Structure 1
């Protein structure tokens, strides 16, 4: 049986978007502006590139 992991894109107060492998812990929510997901790893990478290209995020 293959294990499927969920990935999220989070935008922090620094305007940078990161890909994280699990849902952010509630104590981290204070600096998180937006969150997208869950995605597969490949889809998260593609979507983050799209968010950077559209100006919604800054590269890390």
Structure 2
């Protein structure tokens, strides 16, 4: 059993769409690759989905 809490993140892809992931995104180690925008952590997947909808409505993410 894991001692880490159940956390969710929103990560913006290079095409502007945002994905919801269960693991914390890795920081880009290469200076040539830009660090993607990310939001979170969120306590549940439902909370992350609700925030992603808000990001789409605010124009920060493209809808699928």
Among candidates 20, 38, 44, match of residue 35 of structure 1: 38
CA distance in 1, matches of 2:27, 2:38: 12
SS in structure 2 of the partner of residue 10 of structure 1: strand
Unaligned runs of 5+ in 1: none
Q: Which residue of 2 aligns with 1:50?
A: 54
Rg larger in structure: 2
| TM-score, structure 1 as length reference | 0.76
SS in structure 2 of the partner of residue 33 of structure 1: coil
Moved over 4 A (4+): none
| TM-score, structure 2 as length reference | 0.72
More strand by percentage? 1
SS in structure 1 of the partner of residue 37 of structure 2: strand
